[in-house]
């Protein structure tokens, strides 16, 4: 027989963060084109005037004949130097072409956290936010009744492996072991005796890597006495423990989501050995209120068949833990009106010692508890 995990709209998932470049995706406008200005033409070099012509040198006179002393002929005349031609003029410099126009910058659309070709550099520090799951485990006498044996009808089954207690314990510890590095698990049991200590609770505070502490306590808890005698047999005071654990979770300053995991066979009471669906109705209301405060409930259970528990009780717990409107139907019939009449102290005179109002409201009780 396997335990059922009843979860409505819950919980664990892995969070994948896709981090885009800083500033988001930016479309950069293309740079404007630079107009290729045509270079000016260089004026042609000026023409250099040709050199002036030199006149021919004067002729040297013929030397006189010596006859006695001849007369010296007169010196030849030197021709005047030629004139130098004027320098050529230099052509004007060519004009420079105008520069091309620069294109307008591209517009930046709204960021979409995409990745760009060029990214800014940034440093981020991520703080882990581990969820906290508080196990609330039913340790009442009905958890120790045989599940499959048709011959062993003792209050405490002779074969503990055939009980809701053992099967749910094995399933619960498997979950804790698998997730202890990712979840802060806490642990609390509920039981008690009428006229004695009630509720009685065994507890391990929430923390990461808590499997060893939880399993050590869980495995050390002894079975109840094999007795149906009131005052000896163990009761199921879930309403008080659920209220206490829920308040503790609401006050827990640790970051991360908070959850209740309710481990039970479904039968509850107020330590008075009274009508079981009245305590169930109270717990349903509490699960709805905690969900409204941000604390959902997960239900892991094996509903007992040894006691007159309304069909669908475990599912009602799970629905309430998801914040849904729900109500159990008493096996005596009459629906929500009968539930109110049986369980409301003012209407029936029952449960007058229990503090606080019931969730039920006459004539119907399908609204989320106030």
Question: Which mean pLDDT values do the consecutive 10-residue runs of the chain (370 residues) have?
Answer: 51 35 40 45 47 45 43 47 50 53 53 52 75 97 91 93 96 97 97 93 97 98 94 93 96 96 93 82 94 96 78 90 86 73 62 41 34
* Residue from 322, 315, 320, 363 nearest 341 by CA: 363
Q: How much is the pLDDT for 329?
A: 78
Tokens standing for 363?
Answer: 């004539």
Q: How much is the pLDDT for 106?
A: 52
Give the helix ranges, DSSP H, for the chain: 164-179, 211-220, 238-251, 276-292, 313-321, 335-343, 345-348
Tally helices (H) and strands (E) across the chain: 7, 6
* Residue from 341, 283, 343 nearest 316 by CA: 283
C-alpha distances (whole Å) from 58 to each of 14, 174, 194 are: 118, 135, 161
C-alpha distances (whole Å) from 200 to each of 66, 87, 234, 298 are: 170, 125, 10, 22
C-alpha distances (whole Å) from 311 to each of 153, 187, 231, 273, 330 are: 22, 28, 28, 20, 9
Q: Hey, which residues does 184 pair with through a beta bridge?
A: 132
Q: How much is the pLDDT for 340?
A: 79
Contact (CB, 8 A) for 94 and 42: yes
CATH number for the region 131-326 comes to 3.40.50.410
Domain extents in the chain: 131-326
* Cα separation, 7 vs 297, whole angstroms: 8
Contact (CB, 8 A) for 229 and 179: no
Q: Give the CA dihedral 5, 8, 11, 14, nearest 10 degrees.
A: 100
Q: How much is the pLDDT for 22?
A: 35
Q: 3-state SS of the chain: helix, strand, coil percent to 5? A: 25, 10, 65
User: What distance lies between CA 218 and its chain's CA centroid?
Assistant: 32
Q: What is the 3-state secondary structure (H, E, C) of 326-348?
A: CCCCCCCCCHHHHHHHHHCHHHH
Contact (CB, 8 A) for 265 and 300: no
The 10 Å Cβ neighbour count of residue 235 is 28
Q: What angle do CA 184, 187, 191 make, to 5 degrees?
A: 165
Q: How much is the pLDDT for 312?
A: 84
Tokens standing for 48?
Answer: 């250099």
Q: What angle do CA 148, 154, 160 make, to 5 degrees?
A: 55
* Cα separation, 324 vs 348, whole angstroms: 27
Instruction: Give 146's DSSP letter.
Output: B
Q: How much is the pLDDT for 124?
A: 72
Q: Hey, which residues does 146 pair with through a beta bridge?
A: 163
Q: How much is the pLDDT for 217?
A: 98
Contact (CB, 8 A) for 181 and 209: yes
Q: How much is the pLDDT for 336?
A: 74
Tokens standing for 365?
Answer: 């009780």
Q: Hey, which residues does 300 pair with through a beta bridge?
A: 5, 263
């Amino acid at each position: 027989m396997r335990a059922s995990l009843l979860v409505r709209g819950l919980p664990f998932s892995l969070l994948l963060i896709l981090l885009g470049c800083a500033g988001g995706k930016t479309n950069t406008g293309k740079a404007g084109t630079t107009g290729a200005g045509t270079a000016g033409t260089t004026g042609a070099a000026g023409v250099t005037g040709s050199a002036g012509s030199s006149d021919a040198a004067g002729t040297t006179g013929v030397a006189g004949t010596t006859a006695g002393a001849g007369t010296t002929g007169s010196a030849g005349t030197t021709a005047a130097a030629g004139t130098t031609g004027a320098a050529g003029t230099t052509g004007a410099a060519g004009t420079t072409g105008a520069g091309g126009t620069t294109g307008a910058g591209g517009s930046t659309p709204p960021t979409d956290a995409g990745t760009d070709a060029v990214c800014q550099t940034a440093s981020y520090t991520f703080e882990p936010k581990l969820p906290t799951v508080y196990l609330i485990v039913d340790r009442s006498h009905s958890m120790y009744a045989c599940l499959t044996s048709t011959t062993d009808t003792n209050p405490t089954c002779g074969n503990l492996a055939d009980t809701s207690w053992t099967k749910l314990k094995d399933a619960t510890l498997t979950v804790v072991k698998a997730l202890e590095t990712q979840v802060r698990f806490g642990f609390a049991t509920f039981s008690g005796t009428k006229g004695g200590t009630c509720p009685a609770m065994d507890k391990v505070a929430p923390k990461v890597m808590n499997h060893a502490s939880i399993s050590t306590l869980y495995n050390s808890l002894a079975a109840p006495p094999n007795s149906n005698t009131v005052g000896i047999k163990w009761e199921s005071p879930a309403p008080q423990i659920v209220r206490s654990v829920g308040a503790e979770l609401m006050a827990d300053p640790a970051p991360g989501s908070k959850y209740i995991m309710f481990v039970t066979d479904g039968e509850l009471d107020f330590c008075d050995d009274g009508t079981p669906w009245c305590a169930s109705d109270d717990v349903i209301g509490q699960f709805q209120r905690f969900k409204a405060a941000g604390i959902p409930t997960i239900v892991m259970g094996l509903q007992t068949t040894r006691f007159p528990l309304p069909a669908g009780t475990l599912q009602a717990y799970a629905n309430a833990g998801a914040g849904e409107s729900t109500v159990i139907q008493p096996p005596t019939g009459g629906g929500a009106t009968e539930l109110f009449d049986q369980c409301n102290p003012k209407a029936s005179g029952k449960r007058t010692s229990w503090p606080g109002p019931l969730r039920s409201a006459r004539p119907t009780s399908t609204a989320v508890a106030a």
